[in-house]
Structure 1
Amino acid sequence: MVDKARYTTETISDWHAWTPKLFSFRTTRPDGFHFVPGQFVRLGVEKADGTQVWRPYSMVSAPRHDYLEFYSIVVPHGEFTTELARLGGGDKVMVNKVPLGFLTLDRFEGGGELWMLSTGTGLAPFISMLYEADAWRRFEKLVLVHCVRESVELAYRNVIPTLASDAGVPELAGRLVYVPVVTREALPGVLGHRVTRLIEGGELEAHVGLDFDLERSRVMICGNPEMVDDTHALLKTRGFALSKRAAPGQIAVEQYW
């Protein structure tokens, strides 16, 4: 049981099913809740027996929004998502008062291009960043890679083209390169292999028209833990290093646990 002083109880205000297993939802925003795009917060649900289950979720919404938005997948037999998927508008979730995480733009110094590599619901923090003008103004190119199994899982694909305007910088819309990747369908013009394979073979760089460059490239990775670890290890062989407060590098990843 989490101390009640550490969380608020919020109301689900909107619910959207992308597929039978993928959904996003909005909640009321706690008074005084502040976060940096890319951060996450722990959400809690109460089970029928009165016990609580908590899991970390990145914010999809921007700090300026008057709601919080989250993107989730139903994990088969998952203790948390099974309960969460039963909820809907008007239902309650618990939101920890303190946001956490290091997948934020202040991890980096310099750089001309920002690569945002995601799988599945790992897209969430990058949408939050692109809702804000900072990323658009800071980098000359923004490469958003979203890798899924089937095309129906390309959530937010209709929102992504509007993000520059939403951020108040429509004139910078051309800086974004959106790269959908679908591994279990063959689609014209769409890459079809896992992120690591696309990097290993040079296909991703060729498709985007940019190279992973130590001086110019800054890389954020979020999604399946195996993909995060493998992509980090692959880029490390090219000389890329994890960015730390005391030693700025070129890579930022999220560790939820």
Structure 2
Amino acid sequence: MESYQLRILDKSIVTHDTYAFKIEKPKGYPFVPGQATELSLLKEGWEDVRRPFSFTSLPKDDFLEFTIKTYDDHEGVTKRLGDAQVGDKVEIGDAWGAIAYKGEGVFLAGGAGITPFISILRDLRQKNEIGNNRLIFANKTNEDIILFEELKTILGHKFQNIIEKQKDSAFDRGRIDKEYLIKNINDFKRQHFYVCGPEGFIIAVNKALEELGAAPDALVFEK
């Protein structure tokens, strides 16, 4: 597998704990919207610590972008990236991943699980192919919603939020469980379901979708 050492070109705040990093793009570097790569920060002691991150840029962009949620409560790559600056270097490998657009459906994201969908939705918007695609996005609080304004612009009323821990949220309250899916999705047999989030979220949502009639090959997620 190839590896590339690249500089951070830009770092911008997305939410209270999420940053967008633009980095150099190797010439001819290929990826498909929805894919990811392994990234490490080239700082002493962290060079060999690699973690997967999804591309949030488009394949035609002249840079690579990663939208990364940082976690200050434990020592790890994301915490170190939160402290990274423009000019610092990272290392990435080739692109990989099972998440790719296969047709209209419902995107179901939990927290940072939105990231592979960002490139897909940006790509569909540029192609004017959003169509009947929907996004249901689960977060703990309103301020955790990544790229709320952009996603609202792309999807309009087809962008739905559900909040677990903020009592005064104007959005739906709770989790994406079987009951919620029944109330919010009419057709489980004739569309794709794109699922990404923490492992427990993926397992629970996929199980509920299959019990409600979704075909296993209609579920698109990172296996």
- Relative to the length of structure 1, the TM-score reads 0.77
Deviations 1:19-76 (A, max 9, x none): 4432221111111111111111111123423642101111111112111111222233
Cα deviation, residue 204, structure 1: 2.7
Quick check: 1:114–1:139 contact (8 Å CA) kept in 2?
Answer: no
Other structure's SS at 1:254 match = coil
Task: Answer whether contact 1:39 1:103 (CA < 8 A) is retained.
Answer: yes
Q: Which residue of 1 aligns with 2:194?
A: 220
Query: What 5-or-longer segments of structure 2 have no aligned partner?
Result: none
**Residue 130 of structure 1: which of 106, 111, 121 is its match?**
121
Query: Aligned partner of 1:143: which letter?
Result: R
Q: Which moved more, 1:180-189 or 1:150-159?
A: 180-189
2:162 maps to 1:181: yes
- Displacement, 1:181? 1.8
SS of 1:89's partner is coil
Is 1:204 aligned with 2:204? Answer: no
Give the aligned partner of residue 62 of structure 1.
Answer: 58
Map 1:108-147 to 2 at 5 A: 113-133=104-124, 140-147=131-138
In the alignment, which of 11, 21, 28 is matched to residue 25 of structure 1?
A: 21
Q: How large is the RMSD of aligned CA atoms in angstroms?
A: 2.4
Identity of aligned residues (%): 23
Matched, 1:95 2:88: no
More displaced 10-residue stretch of structure 1: 176-185 or 54-63: 176-185
Counting matched residue pairs gives 222
CA change 1:32–1:136 in 2 (3 A) is closer
Task: Give the secondary structure class of the aligned counterpart of 1:159.
Answer: helix
Of residues 213, 216, 219, the one that matches 1:242 is 216
Task: Look up the match of 1:170.
Answer: none
Provide the C-alpha distance between the structure 1 equivalents of 2:107 and 2:56, rounded to a whole number of angstroms. 14
Q: Which runs of 5+ in 1 are unaligned?
A: 164-172, 206-210, 244-249
Q: How does 1:158-197 map to 2 (within 5 A)?
A: 158-163=149-154, 177-187=158-168, 189-196=170-177
The alignment partner of 2:108 has SS state of strand
CA separation of 1:50/1:185 partners in 2, compared to 1, >3 Å: closer, same or farther?
closer
| 1:161 Cα offset (Å) | 3.8
Q: 1:167 corresponds to which residue?
A: none
Output the amino acid matched with 1:160: L
Residues 80-132 of structure 1 show CA distances to partners (whole Å, capped at 9, x for unaligned) of 22222220211111111x211111124x6xxxx41000011111111101111
TM-score, normalised to structure 2's length? 0.88
Q: Which residue of 2 aligns with 1:254?
A: 222
State the SS of the aligned residue for 2:33. coil
Does the Cα contact within 8 Å between 2:178 and 2:208 map onto a contact in 1? no
> What displacement does 1:138 show?
5.8
2:146 corresponding residue in structure 1: 155
Q: In structure 2, the residue corresponding to 1:158 is in which secondary structure?
A: helix
Please report how far the alpha carbon of residue 156 of structure 1 lies from its aligned counterpart in structure 2 after TM superposition: 0.7
